[in-house]
Amino acid sequence: MQDRIVITGMGTVNPLGLSVRESWERVMAGISGVAPITSFDPTPLQVHIAAEVKNFDPAKSMDPKEARRRDRFEQFAIVSAREALTDSGLEVTEANAGRIGVIISSAIGGLHSLQEAILTNHTEGPRRVSPFLIPMLMANGGAGMAAIEFGIKGPCFSVASACASGADGIGTALMMLRTGMIDAALAGASESTITSTGVAAFDRVGAMSRRNDDYSMTPQPFDGNRDGRVMGEGAAVLVLEREADARKRGAKIHAELAGYGATADAFHVTAPHDKGEGGAAAIRMALSSARANPADVGYINAHGTGTALNDQSETRAVKAAFGDLAYKIPISSTKSMTGHMMGATGALEVIFCVLAIREGILPPTIHYETPDPECDLDYVPNKAREAKIALAISNAFGFGGHNAVLAVRTFV
């Protein structure tokens, strides 16, 4: 029997808080991180709102000079990884550095740095472009900079699968641990795309909320009056280890990372399959990987973006995977509070699944008022709910038809 893979550390920076504890408290209170954009003047755009990380000062967690040479998404990754390592108590040494992996993913990479460099090149010429631009914009920058920061010398890379990037990165780390390629991993994702170009581009896809003057009720996942997603930013990182290694060093174990499933819709570049076939297949794969049955699942953290196409497709995927059991499983979208952090959201939502299991309380889907006839499951509307659960799954579905599902189990 293969050794269980366990979660011993968690760290995050996101629109709700600068730590796991702060973020969880605000999720439980149903607090939204959505507000008017402050990082640039959004007046020329049709979208003026986002879920920005607030009060973030990277110089408090890293050398100020090095912070200036790192894109915002890389700063998020390092700070989150530091919290996760501290939480785990895992010490990186010369003896074990080559046996620890860093798989911190990003769907897009350093968009802040890229946009700034393009403007600089246009207005001031190529000699004014930063020599640090390439390491600041590359999608593997979060992983690479974290490895440098903590002296980790094992496999180090980023998975890019759109909004499934974080979940796929964690799933990849799970498989590497199971095969014995590494003994521990920093796994998660980081994203920061709230720039004028990023907001304009995602708005042109036609999936963004434009409730600029009345943003207190957006996004509205699974609600009949939804009007689209809200962009978020942030990072989330886990420390993963084999059970035997964690026990040997006396580590605190939060939960077991039990299973992973991944599929492709092969359907459309942005729209999910209307019947949710790929999502359902990924759910079944994750449960098989976890050696679990559909009846074992007590909670689903949904992808739940707040667009009709996603919400309805995901609801059909859950029904296809669980049959009649789908109506008995609580589902919530924490994106109703964090916004859509692109590749990083799937990693943060695994942390919320761990805490739901450990604390015995399920996050709500806030802003839920008007049922959508096509979305008729239990979405834990508006208020957190006490519930004793042993197994939770987290769905992450991305542009290009990427589907990734992770299963988290209580550790006893």
Tens-digit pLDDT profile for the chain (412 aa)?
Answer: 678 999 999 999 999 999 999 999 999 999 999 999 999 999 999 999 999 999 999 988 888 888 899 999 999 999 999 999 999 999 999 999 999 999 999 999 999 999 999 999 999 999 999 999 999 999 999 999 999 999 999 999 999 999 999 999 999 999 999 999 999 999 999 999 999 999 999 999 888 999 999 999 999 999 999 999 999 999 999 999 999 999 999 999 999 999 999 999 888 876 777 788 999 999 999 999 999 999 999 999 999 999 999 999 999 999 999 999 999 999 999 999 999 999 999 999 999 999 999 999 999 999 999 999 999 999 999 999 999 999 999 999 998 889 999 999 999 8
Burial classification of residue 174, based on how many CB atoms lie within 10 Å of its CB (0-12 exposed, 13-18 middle, 19 or more buried) = buried
318: nearest Cα among 354, 358, 276, 351: 276
Q: How many angstroms separate the CA atoms of 222 and 122, rounded?
A: 43
- For 25-175, strand residue ranges (E) read 35-36, 49-50, 100-105, 156-157
pLDDT tens sequence across 29-56: 999 999 999 999 999 999 999 999 999 9
pTM over 0.85: yes
303 is catalytic: yes
* 264 close to 401: Cβ distance less than 8 angstroms: yes
pLDDT tens sequence across 75-95: 999 999 999 999 999 999 999
* Structure token pair of residue 228: 């689209």
Main-chain dihedrals φ then ψ at residue 314, nearest 5 degrees: -65, -40
Q: Considering 48, 112, 340, 367, which one is annotated as catalytic? A: 340
Q: Considering 163, 254, 273, 367, which one is annotated as catalytic? A: 163
Domain limits, the chain = 5-248, 260-409
* Structure token pair of residue 253: 């174990």
79: nearest Cα among 10, 162, 25, 182: 10
**Fold agreement (5-248, 260-409):** yes
pLDDT the model gives residue 226: 96
pLDDT the model gives residue 1: 60
* 405 close to 396: Cβ distance less than 8 angstroms: yes
> Who's near 384: CB < 8 A, 6+ residues apart?
27, 28, 29, 30, 361, 362, 363, 364
* Structure token pair of residue 308: 């009709």
48 is catalytic: no
Vertex 114: Cα angle to 109 and 118 (nearest 5): 165
The CATH number of the domain covering residues in 5-248? 3.40.47.10
Burial classification of residue 181, based on how many CB atoms lie within 10 Å of its CB (0-12 exposed, 13-18 middle, 19 or more buried) = middle
Pick the CATH number of 260-409 from 3.40.190.10, 3.40.47.10, 3.40.1230.10, 2.60.40.10: 3.40.47.10
Q: Considering 254, 303, 367, 402, which one is annotated as catalytic? A: 303
163 is catalytic: yes
